[in-house]
């Protein structure tokens, strides 16, 4: 999941030191949810599939196994460093913002945590829709970052306030880089406007305890965004205290809301 701003600078960079840990945390949380969303009738044997912004490739590999030897999966990313082609899985460097789709008859197109970060996300969604085969499915999954992450337990009130302060700063940085924190709420409507049918949306969240893979995502995000967070007025001491809090077993927080929307191009 490489996300790029409107001026071509990286928000989350696949080549960053914390990128692998970040991708593993996301995969651990999201892959089981996405796999359920791609089950039949969405994914079938022999299907041709495009995984957009494939990141570490975990879902591309799952999809490749699901479609079997007669199916084909293309995994693309603006930085395919962590992607490996094998069997029926192909890999290609591709910028979904500026390059035409690498095909126009996909039975499934899946984009997870991609369009949220693209200023021209609505145009990109229509580009993806145009690359579907008749009867093909588009599945777009995003975090809804409009609601503050609810702290469930914390060692002190000040610790809870620190968590909220750092998270507010992180959301501000993402918005400055062109992210739309409420885009997840708009995807269903945008798919309807693109004339997709059989639309449905689910939302998932769960508690993350200190020291878990989930809270490690907040930590790796804070490391990748650290220069911007310091520029926003946070101190190194605050960031260090934030990271210690995320490893504290006495801390627990609700995850981001993960919103999965799917729709089908009529046959």
Cis status, amide bond into 41, omega within 30 of 0: yes
Triad 254, 256, 258: Cα angle to 5°: 125
Q: Which of 162, 148, 143 is nearest to 251 (CA)?
A: 162
C-alpha pair distances (Å), 252 with each of 16, 140, 163, 173, 256: 27, 28, 11, 24, 13
How many residues are recorded in the chain? 267
The reported pLDDT for the residue numbered 16 is: 62
Q: What is the pTM of this model?
A: 0.92
d(CA 7, CA 77): 17
Structure tokens at 85: 């082609």
Q: From its phi and psi, is residue 92 left (phi > 0), alpha (psi between -120 and 50) or beta?
A: beta
Q: What is the DSSP string of 88-109?
A: TEEEEE--TTTS--S-S-EEEE
Domains and CATH numbers, the chain: 3-264 (3.40.50.150)
The reported pLDDT for the residue numbered 247 is: 98
pLDDT in tens, the chain (267 residues): 444 443 444 466 656 666 788 889 899 999 999 999 999 899 999 999 999 999 999 999 999 999 999 999 999 999 999 999 999 999 999 999 999 999 889 999 999 999 999 999 999 999 999 999 999 999 999 999 998 889 999 999 999 999 999 999 999 999 999 999 999 999 999 999 999 999 999 999 999 999 999 999 999 999 999 999 999 999 999 999 999 999 999 999 999 999 999 999 999
d(CA 144, CA 259): 7
d(CA 211, CA 178): 30
d(CA 222, CA 132): 36
Strands 48-52 and 72-77 turn out to be parallel
């Amino acid at each position: 999941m490489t996300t790029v701003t409107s001026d071509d600078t990286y928000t989350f960079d696949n080549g960053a030191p914390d990128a692998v840990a970040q991708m593993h945390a996301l995969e651990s949380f999201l892959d089981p949810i996405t796999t359920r969303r791609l089950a039949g009738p969405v994914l079938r044997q022999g299907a041709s599939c495009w995984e957009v912004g494939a990141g570490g490739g975990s879902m591309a590999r799952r999809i490749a196994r699901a479609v079997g030897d007669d199916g084909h999966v293309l995994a693309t990313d603006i930085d395919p460093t962590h992607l490996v082609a094998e069997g029926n899985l192909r890999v290609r460097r591709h910028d979904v913002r500026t390059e035409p789709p690498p095909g126009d008859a996909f039975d499934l197109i899946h984009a997870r945590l991609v369009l949220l970060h693209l200023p021209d996300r609505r145009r990109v969604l229509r580009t993806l829709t145009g690359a579907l085969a008749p009867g093909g499915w588009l599945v777009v999954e995003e975090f809804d970052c409009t609601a503050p992450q609810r702290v469930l337990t914390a060692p002190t009130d000040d610790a809870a306030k620190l968590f909220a302060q750092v998270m507010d700063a992180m959301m501000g940085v993402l918005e400055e880089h062109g992210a739309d924190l409420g885009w997840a709420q708009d995807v269903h409507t945008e798919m309807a406007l693109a004339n997709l049918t059989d639309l449905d949306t689910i939302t998932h969240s769960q508690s993350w305890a200190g020291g878990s893979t989930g809270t490690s995502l907040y930590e790796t995000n804070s490391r990748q965004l650290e220069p911007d967070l310091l520029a926003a007025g946070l101190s190194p001491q605050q960031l260090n205290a934030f990271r210690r809090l995320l490893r504290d077993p006495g801390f627990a927080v609700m995850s981001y809301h993960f919103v999965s929307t799917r729709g089908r191009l009529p046959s």
